[in-house]
Amino acid sequence: MIQNEHQYQVTQDRLKDLEQALVELLKIKDNLLQRQFSSRQNGLQITIDNLRREIAEYDSLKQLSINASGTLHECNS
């Protein structure tokens, strides 16, 4: 789980790297056995999906925090 902005940025960078690796894998698909391609593709896709889920979760928590701060600020006004 992402806990701060630094981890968030690192996770986004890692996601971009993995997405690029998937693009590169597709380029060499014909040079691999189907089993090799499938296992590599599945591994990349699972990791990509997990990182996207973590990023979405952090974005949601960050938005909730912003909304809660605004609500608290409005109540104190």
* C-alpha to C-alpha distance for 40 and 29, rounded to whole angstroms: 10
* C-alpha to C-alpha distance for 28 and 37, rounded to whole angstroms: 9
State pTM to two decimals: 0.82
User: What's the whole-number average pLDDT of the chain?
Assistant: 90
Number of domains in the chain: 1
Tens digit of pLDDT for each residue in 26-49? 999 999 999 999 999 999 999 999
Q: What is the dihedral of CA 38, 10, 7, 64, to 10 degrees?
A: -80
Provide the residue range defining the domain that includes 56.
Answer: 5-76
